[in-house]
Amino acid sequence: MVILTLNCGSSSVKYQVYDWDQKTALATGIVERVTQGGSFIKHKSRGKEEYKLEYPCPDHKVAIELIMRTLVDKNVGAIESIDQIKAVGHRVVHGGEKFAKSVRITPEVLHTFEQIQNLAPLHNPANITGIRAAQQVLPKVPHCAIMDTAWHQTMPPSSYIYALPYEWYTKYGVRRYGFHGTSFLYTAKRAAVLLGKDPFKVNLVIAHIGNGSSINAVKNGLSFDTSMGLTPLEGLVMGTRSGDHDPAISFYIMRQTGMKPEEVESALNKKSGVLGITEKWVDRRDIEVAAAEGNERAQLAQLIEGYRLRKYIGAYVAAVGGIDALVFTAGVGERGPVTRRIATEGLEWMGIKLDPEKNRVSMTRNAETCISTDDSKVKIFVIPTDEELVMTEDTYAIEEGTYDIHTNFTYTFQHKDYQNKERMEALPKDIEKWKGLEKILARPPR
């Protein structure tokens, strides 16, 4: 079975085509600047060179049609006919309290997404637009929704209820929902494999660090608490989002400047984080270079981001009563040794001991590594996330009738012999580039 997964943002469509029978990704790509002008597609089919084409995409339907044409192109494509696609999995950022697992999209499900889209006004409308566009382009195949929030539905009320008027929760749904759930699910299950433990007998702290960042406390294999809240704004310092701050600041700035609520909201989401501190950079690689050259703002951004991470790690270790492993994932988590170093400084008393050399050479998205010292009581893993695989596997299982909530379902990547073919093929280049990487590859105990 060939499965297409789509991640539709407000101005982009990220996609993957996966051959379930061969357990292989046939193609990956992204259409950027959708609705904005100057749009283009970047596409990579297995065994072929990356392909890029500028093409006007005034809406998501045109973008998805462009993806379909590219997939069947004789020179750069991956499949012979669109009819080979048998199901589509869609990322949906916010499922509210309605969904604790992935579902097949029906008119009723789509209506529910529309009813709660005000909970994620920057994300869900784009997700819904993408679903409707894909249904028009591929009307004969089933479409499934994989929610970022579903993983966190196991949190207890003490974790998700805010100390606000309770009526705000009962009437308006104001509570902590959490995001990055698909990534946390994957990395939690993989961490259990690497530890050689029952997935429901592990305690973890997982840091998903990228342009958007959040951290997850996992107790007995279930989400217990997480840093993002009603929206993805709360919690860690991010690329352009502020994370935690005094909520009264918004009112103060509005009174001082005359800014409107929507202007302040935009500033907190798009002009804050490390961009707000440096006033120049979002990419942590640029910040790392600038900091090494002595730029004080870049150095400050690194310290603030790392310190916020360290505070959350300490709090979440306390919340779950001790952990088996600390896990870093996503773009910065996977290839950000400076961020990882600052985040773990001074945690030795907790049994969390980072090995500086292992941390330095762990620079790959193609393998899982262990970067803790040999005598560290707590393992420190770097586990490259694979949200697309979770989306694909959920979609396949839904259509086969074998799917259930993750407490009653076993993923293929939970087997100790699981391997990602594409990553294994790409790993030798990373090993050649980063001397010592091969020695820190994390493997399940035998």
How far is Cα 263 from Cα 286, in angstroms, rounded to an integer?
27
Q: 368 near 167, Cβ under 8 Å?
A: no
Q: 244 near 363, Cβ under 8 Å?
A: no
Closest CA to 31 of 3, 51, 49, 48: 51
Both tokens of residue 244? 């935690």
Q: 323 near 378, Cβ under 8 Å?
A: yes
417 is catalytic: no
How far is Cα 43 from Cα 14, in angstroms, rounded to an integer?
10
Both tokens of residue 288? 């790392």
How far is Cα 181 from Cα 187, in angstroms, rounded to an integer?
10
Among the listed residues 19, 59, 73, 148, the single catalytic one is: 148
Q: 134 near 143, Cβ under 8 Å?
A: yes
Query: Which residues, including other chains, have CB under 8 Å from residue 250's CB and lie 6 or more apart?
Result: 261, 264, 268
How far is Cα 329 from Cα 218, in angstroms, rounded to an integer?
15
**SS3 per-residue string spanning 315-368:** HHHHHHCCCCEEEEEHHHHHHCHHHHHHHHCCCHHHCECECHHHHHHCCCCCCC
How far is Cα 417 from Cα 118, in angstroms, rounded to an integer?
43
**SS3 per-residue string spanning 140-185:** CCCEEEEECCHHHHHCCHHHHCCCCCHHHHHHHCCCCCCCCHHHHH
Active site residues per annotation: 148
